[in-house]
Chains A and B, each alone.
Chain A
Amino acid sequence: MAEVTYEGATCIYQGAAKPAVDGLHLAIKDGEFVVMVGPSGCGKTTALRMLAGLEEIDDGSIRIDGNDMVGVSSRDRDIAMVFQNYALYPNKTVGENMGFALKMHGVEKAERARRVRDAAKMLDLEDFLDRKPRNLSGGQRQRVAMGRAIVREPKVFCMDEPLSNLDAQLRVQTRTQIAELQRRLEITTVYVTHDQVEAMTMGDRVAVMRSGQLQQFASPTELYDHPANVFVAGFIGSPAMNRLDGTLSPDGVKVGGATLRPAEALLRAAQGHGQLVAGIRPEHLAIGEGELQMQVDLVEDLGSDSYVYGHLTGDAKANIIVRSGRDHPRRGDDIKIAIDTSHLHLFDAGTGLRIDE
């Protein structure tokens, strides 16, 4: 159990023009489950590895329980890491894999066996303790990787995309198991993924990263309802939020041919920003009488709902997604859309930052 703090942590690879992680500030509470999410190359994995001691901290610092980890090697940090490809020791059995760290710390054989058995029971691995990794399925290997981390009762769990090599169904199942496990063990966890669904469902708080820089660090709900910039707005939520170019006008925001009228306070705050990006989620648009006109390109019928993809009539580049029900329009249809302006987000087109009332 420990607090983890990134204080302006920076990592730059030799010969690279830009830092992989640029001045990251994160204050992670004891026992919290934090997810770092972002597209490929955003620096989330590097940030995690800096915490684990596998990448150098070139500037700033990272503290665990107040202790500066600069110059401290991985084996002295009391961190357990679950790797994307599991990194199980191929020449050792499952039991030996799980007990390895304890052996390195001089824990007695009997005590080791007991702790390994307890962890194995938690993960349903008791029957596999004598098998070698090559004789295990992907899902079993993943559990062994988790077990290896759990057995140690470390200060922090670091998990690097542990679900990405599992098939879709197993992924959903394991996701809930990991979240449950963490809640039970109450160990501070930093979890990296590129899948925003995992981020939204598992994290107490989520750090969205892009190009080495932190975009926003907040609870999933907060990220969803109040994204800090256009990037977060488009990254969180699937299908993505609609982001349309707009300009400020005396009585509202001009988008496409129509003028949208957001709340007074928001409109007032938007004064002075000439070019805007208007954001509205697919579920906050409705097909029916409304301000905007759209041409349907494609409909995805998912059974429970459907998503209608298209563009603003007259502007092929202004893409729109509308959530609909079983009864949805067809491809090529021209439809009208109504906007729920209480859920309209406004961002400055230049900086991308959110305009808050």
Chain B
Amino acid sequence: MASAEQIRTEPGLLTGAAVEPAHRRKRRRTNSTSWGIVGWVAGILFFFPVLWMVLTSFKTEAQAYTNTPNVVFSPTLSQYKTVFSSGLWPYVANSAFATIVSTLLVLLLATPCAFALSLRPVKKTRDVLFFFISTKMLPVVAAIIPIYIAARDLHLLDNIFTLVILYTAMNLPIAIWMMRSFFLEVPGELLEAAQMDGAPLRRTMTEVILPVVAPGIAATALICCIFSWNEFFFAVNITATEAATVPVFLVGFISSEGLYFAQLAAAATVATLPVVLAGWVAQRQLVRGLSFGAIK
């Protein structure tokens, strides 16, 4: 039997004589338990503000305005009633329209562009990519002035299509970068096999490439939707009453009502809910997109 001095062991594990398997497997479990605790603590900490927002939305203002936060209380839907009766739906319709149409437009423009940029890396490829990402580096504030003035002069202020155009331009660079990284994952042999099988480019594209890239397209679309739905700066400056979107509604909710915590929490919950749900449901796509295709 081995002597204790001869063995240097992991801290926390008994040394020496033959140990039963259960004990050894316990070491594996204790390791993963400590990581698990850290993980859960971090997760709860990060999630807490959101949780608190949702909890607050079910309180009355009196319950929300307390020195000691109320964790146990009887929930009420009155805040939500207020929110929904404040003319929320036109804003939602506008947001939905701007988000969906701009995302479709982005996919329409970005997919062929990314495809071309991934096929044969030409030195122009680098320049083109550089150009696209550089448009994101230019501060939006610099462009907003002429855009506002131009929109005003063309009577395109407070027009949902103006937002659509702006959101498309806003998301296009990231979409192109993301889609390109997904296209690069398609093995070259696939294209060669299709060519050997006699497929013209269009069919190769639709029947061979797109199915492989489909998850990537979904991921890109999701990211675009998130950024469009959540966008505030353009919305607040370009729109007024007709084309205002949900972020504008949320902010408008404050100014007219003052800072009522519970009500605001309800409004904020309603405003953020669609995107959070989409992100949770399509989490895999989200993770793919944000890691540029690296995490599947």
Across the interface, do B8 and A70 meet the contact criterion of CB distance under 8 Å?
no
Residues of B within 8 A of A56 (CB): 24-25, 28
* Chain B residue with the shortest CB-CB distance to A63: B2
Closest Cβ of chain B: how far from A66's Cβ, in Å? 7
Across the interface, do A71 and B1 meet the contact criterion of CB distance under 8 Å?
no
**Which listed residue (A10, A68, A73) contacts B10, Cβ 8 A?**
A73
* Chain B residue with the shortest CB-CB distance to A76: B8
Residues of B within 8 A of A63 (CB): 2
> How far apart are the CA atoms of A59 and B18 in the complex, in Å?
9
> How far apart are the CA atoms of A71 and B20 in the complex, in Å?
12
**Which listed residue (A59, A60, A66, A71) contacts B27, Cβ 8 A?**
A71
Across the interface, do A71 and B2 meet the contact criterion of CB distance under 8 Å?
no
A72 within 8 A of B: yes
Closest Cβ of chain A: how far from B265's Cβ, in Å? 43
A58 within 8 A of B: yes
* Chain B residue with the shortest CB-CB distance to A68: B2
* Chain B residue with the shortest CB-CB distance to A10: B21
B181-222 interface with A by 8 A CB criterion: none
Across the interface, do A66 and B2 meet the contact criterion of CB distance under 8 Å?
yes
Across the interface, do A68 and B1 meet the contact criterion of CB distance under 8 Å?
yes
A67 within 8 A of B: yes
Across the interface, do B21 and A72 meet the contact criterion of CB distance under 8 Å?
no
A61 within 8 A of B: yes
Across the interface, do B16 and A68 meet the contact criterion of CB distance under 8 Å?
yes
B1-24 interface with A by 8 A CB criterion: 1-2, 6-10, 13-21, 24
* Chain A residue with the shortest CB-CB distance to B9: A71
Across the interface, do A71 and B19 meet the contact criterion of CB distance under 8 Å?
yes
Counting chain B CB atoms within 10 Å of each CB, the highest count among A56, A59, A60, A71 belongs to: A71
Across the interface, do B18 and A72 meet the contact criterion of CB distance under 8 Å?
no
> How far apart are the CA atoms of A67 and B7 in the complex, in Å?
7
A206 within 8 A of B: no
Residues of A within 8 A of B1 (CB): 68
Across the interface, do A67 and B25 meet the contact criterion of CB distance under 8 Å?
no
Closest Cβ of chain A: how far from B13's Cβ, in Å? 5
Across the interface, do A57 and B10 meet the contact criterion of CB distance under 8 Å?
no
> How far apart are the CA atoms of A222 and B2 in the complex, in Å?
33
Closest Cβ of chain B: how far from A139's Cβ, in Å? 26
Across the interface, do B6 and A71 meet the contact criterion of CB distance under 8 Å?
no
> How far apart are the CA atoms of A66 and B3 in the complex, in Å?
10
The contact string, 1 if C-beta is below 8 Å from chain A, for chain B 90-127, is 00000000000000000000000000000000000000
Across the interface, do B13 and A71 meet the contact criterion of CB distance under 8 Å?
yes
Counting chain B CB atoms within 10 Å of each CB, the highest count among A56, A72, A73, A76 belongs to: A72
Across the interface, do A67 and B6 meet the contact criterion of CB distance under 8 Å?
yes
Residues of B within 8 A of A70 (CB): 18-19, 24
> How far apart are the CA atoms of A73 and B13 in the complex, in Å?
11
Residues of B within 8 A of A58 (CB): 21, 24-25
Closest Cβ of chain A: how far from B271's Cβ, in Å? 44
Residues of B within 8 A of A10 (CB): 21
Residues of B within 8 A of A72 (CB): 7-10
**Which listed residue (B10, B15, B18, B27) contacts A61, Cβ 8 A?**
B18
Residues of A within 8 A of B20 (CB): 59
Known contacts A61-B18, A63-B2; decide if A71 and B7 are in contact (CB<8 Å). yes
Residues of A within 8 A of B25 (CB): 56, 58
> How far apart are the CA atoms of A70 and B7 in the complex, in Å?
9
Residues of B within 8 A of A76 (CB): 8-9
Across the interface, do B18 and A71 meet the contact criterion of CB distance under 8 Å?
no
Across the interface, do B7 and A68 meet the contact criterion of CB distance under 8 Å?
yes
The contact string, 1 if C-beta is below 8 Å from chain A, for chain B 218-257, is 0000000000000000000000000000000000000000
> How far apart are the CA atoms of A112 and B8 in the complex, in Å?
25
Closest Cβ of chain B: how far from A339's Cβ, in Å? 49
Closest Cβ of chain B: how far from A49's Cβ, in Å? 15
Residues of A within 8 A of B24 (CB): 56-58, 70-71
Residues of A within 8 A of B8 (CB): 72, 76
Counting chain A CB atoms within 10 Å of each CB, the highest count among B2, B13, B24 belongs to: B2
**Which listed residue (A66, A67, A68) contacts B18, Cβ 8 A?**
A68
Across the interface, do A67 and B2 meet the contact criterion of CB distance under 8 Å?
yes
Residues of A within 8 A of B27 (CB): 71
Residues of B within 8 A of A57 (CB): 24
* Chain A residue with the shortest CB-CB distance to B15: A71
Closest Cβ of chain A: how far from B98's Cβ, in Å? 46
Residues of A within 8 A of B19 (CB): 70-71
Counting chain B CB atoms within 10 Å of each CB, the highest count among A10, A70, A73 belongs to: A70
> How far apart are the CA atoms of A68 and B27 in the complex, in Å?
17
Residues of A within 8 A of B7 (CB): 67-68, 71-72
* Chain A residue with the shortest CB-CB distance to B28: A56
> How far apart are the CA atoms of A60 and B19 in the complex, in Å?
8
Closest Cβ of chain B: how far from A14's Cβ, in Å? 8
> How far apart are the CA atoms of A256 and B233 in the complex, in Å?
89
Closest Cβ of chain A: how far from B34's Cβ, in Å? 16
Residues of A within 8 A of B15 (CB): 71
> How far apart are the CA atoms of A44 and B81 in the complex, in Å?
67
Closest Cβ of chain B: how far from A218's Cβ, in Å? 28
> How far apart are the CA atoms of A125 and B15 in the complex, in Å?
41
17 contacts between A and B (CB under 8 A): A56-B28, A57-B24, A58-B24, A59-B20, A60-B18, A63-B2, A68-B1, A68-B16, A68-B17, A68-B18, A70-B24, A71-B13, A71-B19, A71-B24, A72-B7, A73-B9, A76-B9
Please name 8 further chain A to chain B contacts, defined as beta carbons within 8 Å, in addition to the given A68-B2, A73-B9, sorted by A numbering: A56-B24, A56-B25, A56-B28, A67-B2, A71-B15, A71-B24, A71-B27, A76-B9
Query: 6 nearest interchain CB pairs?
Result: A68-B2, A58-B21, A59-B21, A71-B13, A76-B8, A71-B9
Interface residues of chain B, those whose CB is within 8 Å of chain A, are: 1-2, 6-10, 13-21, 24-25, 27-28
Interface residues of chain A, those whose CB is within 8 Å of chain B, are: 10, 56-61, 63, 66-68, 70-73, 76
